[in-house]
Structure 1
Amino acid sequence: MADMFLDVPPVSGLSDPFPIRVSDVSPGGVVRIGVRTTDAAGVAWSSLTEFTADSEGRVDTCSSLPGSAEWSPANSLGPLWTLRPEHGTPGYGFSLEPSGAVGLDIRVRSTGAALGAGASRTIGRRAREVGAPTAPGITAARFFVPDDGAPHPGVVLLGGAEGGLPAAAAAELADRGWSTVAWDWFPRESGGVDVGDLRAALRVFVDHQLVAGDRVALIGRGRGAELALLLAVGEPDLVGPVVAHSPTDVRTNDPHAAPSATTYLGDACPVLDLPAPELGSVFARLRSRLRPALAHRPLELASYYADARREAGNEAVAAARIPVEHIRGPLLVTAGTSDAVWDSETMAGALAQHAAEAGIDAYAVVYPGAGHGVGWPFTPAGLPIPDTATAYGSTVLLGGDRTSSGAAATRSRDVVLEFLGQVHGGETP
């Protein structure tokens, strides 16, 4: 089987299809496709998937299903969704270089032969980074623009409670035609973030010479989706389209040990959080965190937020509801059915309904089996989806299975690109 031929695209976008084609195989022969990469943290990831060659001796990951049936229907990104760290904690997140470049080593061989053909390819994308406008309330920012250097519609990216800068996501959006800034905004401690400062930062960004138009789009996930909605409510003259991945429809409390802790300070509407559930004592609050830690299990927040909503009562929930009917829109909300952080499926539906009732164009997309925060460009379709994230000083369970979340990331890319392309310029898929 020495003549086995491997065809892999040498360069492609991180979320683009990634066809692996193998030919000159015995018809009906089993081919093992191995993928290996090392992330920015030096952690090695790999996957090994078996495919059966067709009657013409070919395997094409665009149309061939794996023997394990880990995903269905066929999808060329399947071998990338199923990458796992070779050493380390299950659920460890893939650490992406800020440039977004990933090198993949692809190896194929037949189960009935020695080592077959092999190749190494690089998946990357181009983006131009410029100095980010500075403003109070932003811990750090990175700003990417299309290669032509001309003004383009602006997008602000707001990650979730994991903090940090979604720089690679901003680079990918810039490659699609938007001037995109990524903000590191989530507070490291429970002291909170001043929403008034962030509203001022929006004005600075809108006025930048490389940002076209008088309104920007906001894209957020998790707590970032919550902030995007709060900013859109407070600044309808500055914020147009909003994409909210795994959102909440209420202003949520901060699940730190102190029940009075909050995330949002200053000029935000609504002005109150959903009250924290009463845990009875300091010891009870510590126990809710210590038990998962001692058992080496991630923190499951879904029950925490469900208890908060139930114990608060209808009046308090109504007071904390984000008045999405005051945004300009349009609005795109997405959610997974297996979100382990909070019930984003139900809350996304409520947000879309309230917006639509107010005459705002609103769209809700639900991804079966996906977990929390799955949404492009934060979760590039061509990377494995983590099971957990580090947030609130703990390891937090995100939910969903990786294959369903990977498929959701692929679909989300097309949905978000089409949405933004139609309502905010840029490129459509």
Structure 2
Amino acid sequence: MTPALRSTLFLALAGLPLAAQATNGYFMHGSSVKSQGMAGVSLALAHDSIKAASNPASLIALGSQYDAGLTFFDPSRSASIEGNAFLDGRYDGNGDGPFWIPEAGFARRHNDRIAYGLAMYANGGMNTDYARNPYGGTGSAGVDLSQLFVTGSVAYKLNERHSIGAGVTYVHQRFAAQGLQGFDNAGWSTAPGAVTNNGHDSADGWGLKLGWQGKVSDRLTLGVSWSSRIETDRFKEYRGLFAEQGGFDVPESYGIGFAWQLSPRWTLAGDWERIEYSEVKAVGNPLAFNAPLGADRGPGFGWQDIDVYKLGVIYAASPRVTLRAGISHADQPIPASQTLLNILAPGVIQDHASVGASWQMGPAQSLTFSYTRALEESVKGQNAIPGVLGGGEADLSMSQDILGVAWQYRY
């Protein structure tokens, strides 16, 4: 593949609309189609160049290759409100969707000890569109958060068994909110006019990734990865909505994984991942009115930090066909007391079940497919609507279907 063709591919993928989604909170359950086929298991494996976004040390094991993929993401999200004199009813948040999510990457072996690569992917986001406004305003209500990540990585082979890697990540995120006119005044916000219906605003930031992979025995490989918090620009058009005058940083995450080769055909692998949502005030601050919207201590979504547990298997069915499957379970990020504002972002999914397969079309090219069912999950509100807003409870529900296809070219 020529440099010109490679550049054209990346530009074409970057031009596709990125889906905003909520899987493990609002992080993707897997950074590439291959990892999605194992419910996101990746830290001790070397799936592809895009997966280097999870652990940059894996570049050493890849060789030189190009990857491109597309994921079809179809969420179903809904809410209901009971016991409130003004807002009671059932609400369907599926005015937008389904969505298409692109991915692309390349890896190159510089020499026996050094490899480098670039990965482009959508790490997560949130999207809802309620034709019937659950906050009592005129017109539809919802939010749209899309995030494009580009990670450039370098890996170094310490010896025959161990490698380390480092990456620099750039994020571009876009956000829009509509239908929140009831909060767009001096009584509720520090910046009236910068709460809702201002179209899309954007913010950028940079972060760091570090990783290690080590073959601790002939059959067992371990992997460790850490991604820094990414401090981004503020959403100026929504400085009266998000805490810290429109701040919406990407939270820190880290994890450890294993890959155990049970036999020449079977591999069992698993990951544990931690996502520190509470560190970002716009996400972690609870819905309380001791400070107005947009203030440093202003109301947020009230999300908790979560642990994610993933387990998957790989079966080499033949020299040309590889099968994958996996399950994952995450803590619930949304407490029962925080469901009202999270009607906008009902990221309540906890369990995923995935299957996947790769077909080696020839010496250099392969196709990969994956399907994930994010099992339906509900959170029932408990003291969720403050008395100042009329009291009552808000309940949230979500499920998802995720289908991916990817192409790989080795050279």
Fold agreement, TM-score > 0.5: no
Higher share in strand: 2
> TM-score scaled to structure 1, two decimals?
0.27
> TM-score scaled to structure 2, two decimals?
0.28
Higher share in helix: 1
